[in-house]
Amino acid sequence: MARDRSLSSSSFSIMSSAGEEDGQGSALLVDGVAAPEEGRGDERAFRDSSLQRGGSSGRVQRDWSGRSGRSGRGGSNGGSSSFSYSSFWNAYFDCDCALLSRPLSLLLLVLWASGIIIFLVAIGETLRTRLPLIARNGTSTGVTVEPLESMAFPAITVCNVVKKVPLQESYCGSYGGEKACPERHVPKGRPNCISYNSGTGRAQVIAKKHGLADSVMLVLRLQLDKYPASARFSGVHVQLHSQCSHTDGTCPSELSASLISAPGAARFFRISKVAHHYNNGSQTEHFEAKDSDAGDHNFEAMFGPRKDTVVLVFYYATLSQLLIRELPKYSWLNLGAEMGGIMGLLFGVGIVNVTTWLLKACFLGKHSLRHGLT
């Protein structure tokens, strides 16, 4: 008995009942409930059953000395030998104020409060600087190289530098002779031009290999005998463009051509394709070319008079296109990602954690939110 009483001194107290003065002996009080007078050997069982009565008689608290005690609402201190701050707050203010009696919990509270203040300041600064960027609808550019298995040749428009003097075709095919000539026509209002592989709805020449293995070769006569005496140059303008219609004026003008070829030598044009994708969903494409020439050995025997003949060879340098995408400079998605990054940096949480806490608070009450955070 003496040993059991000493072990339970932090939770139980033996007090003399009011009837002791009348000679009725003493009674064992456990959390304000009198134990049976006889059967003191059942004290341990009675004490254990009292501990199982959870929140009805009080909470288990820990005082500054590290011992456990039980306190009821407005009741005694459970026989503890030292003062319990937690019991004091719970008894008189009816709240769980363990944070005020635990240094570690108090430090954690200060840490969280500081994190919330820093978070609010950072979010305010982010909104102040980023919202104007979204309002201005600024754009940025993303550039990628997209490999392709095959590529359609661009439309090729070749024009005599002297207007009203038509070109005469001597050969149309490929460098190796295995590819047929593309469809061609003389654009309306431009008699000095021939357009190859051009026009909407027409079959296009497809390149499945890069280099001269898959190319388009043209041999054209300038007809110098029809040049006026005032002509200063001889040769052709070369335009590489997307499919268009010369009738409705969607094709580029003749003088917008950036490639010029002179007669008397074979000119080789290495083509590269650039595609543009814009924010509004529209797309455009343009073609660039670098030219080089070859020697004129046996030129007249193979192609014709040197001063009156141009030889043009077109091929892709690589089967890939340069894709340029127009992107929003700053979007709502960027803003959300930046705010989420700040929240994750300070609290180590994400939108799933915050949503879970809010749902628990709505369905299980505010106490579940408090315990979830601590």
The answer to whether the CB of 75 falls within 8 A of the CB of 59 is no
Token output for 19: 């009837």
Residues of the chain with pLDDT under 50: 1-41, 43-44, 46-81, 85, 88-89, 91-95, 99
Token output for 134: 């979204």
The whole-angstrom separation of Cα 111 and Cα 227 is: 89
Q: In this predicted structure, what is the pLDDT of residue 100?
A: 53
Please report the sign of the dihedral spanned by the C-alpha atoms of residue 79, residue 80, residue 83, residue 88: negative
The two beta strands, 266-277 and 309-328, are parallel
Q: In this predicted structure, what is the pLDDT of residue 201?
A: 63
Indicate the domain borders of the chain. Answer: 2-101, 103-138+330-373, 145-328
Of the CA atoms within 13 Å of residue 15, those in its CB half-sphere come to: 13
Q: Summarize pLDDT for 51-67 with one digit per residue, the tens.
A: 444 444 444 444 433 44
Q: In this predicted structure, what is the pLDDT of residue 216?
A: 94
The pTM of the full predicted model, rounded to 2 decimals, is 0.56
Q: In this predicted structure, what is the pLDDT of residue 107?
A: 80
Q: In this predicted structure, what is the pLDDT of residue 352?
A: 76
- Residue pointed to by tokens 């979007």: 331
Q: Which residues 6+ apart lie within 8 Å of 213 measured at CB?
A: 176
Alpha helices in the chain (DSSP H): 2-7, 43-51, 54-57, 85-93, 103-136, 299-302, 332-347, 351-364, 366-373
The whole-angstrom separation of Cα 70 and Cα 12 is: 8
Q: In this predicted structure, what is the pLDDT of residue 334?
A: 80
Q: In this predicted structure, what is the pLDDT of residue 368?
A: 58
- Look at residue 66 and give its three-state secondary structure: coil
In three state form, how does the secondary structure of 201-253 look? CCCCCEECCCHHHCEEEEEEECCHHHCCCCCCCCCEEEEEECCCCCCCCCCCC
Of the CA atoms within 13 Å of residue 234, those in its CB half-sphere come to: 18
Angle at which helices 366-373 and 351-364 pack, to 10 degrees?
Answer: 140
The whole-angstrom separation of Cα 16 and Cα 130 is: 74
- Homologous superfamily of 145-328 in CATH? Acid-sensing ion channels like domains (2.60.470.10)
Q: In this predicted structure, what is the pLDDT of residue 18?
A: 39
Q: In this predicted structure, what is the pLDDT of residue 169?
A: 95
CA distance to 118, 121, 342, 358, per residue, from 124 (Å) = 10, 5, 12, 22
Q: In this predicted structure, what is the pLDDT of residue 246?
A: 66
Q: Summarize pLDDT for 98-121 with one digit per residue, the tens.
A: 545 577 778 878 888 888 898 889
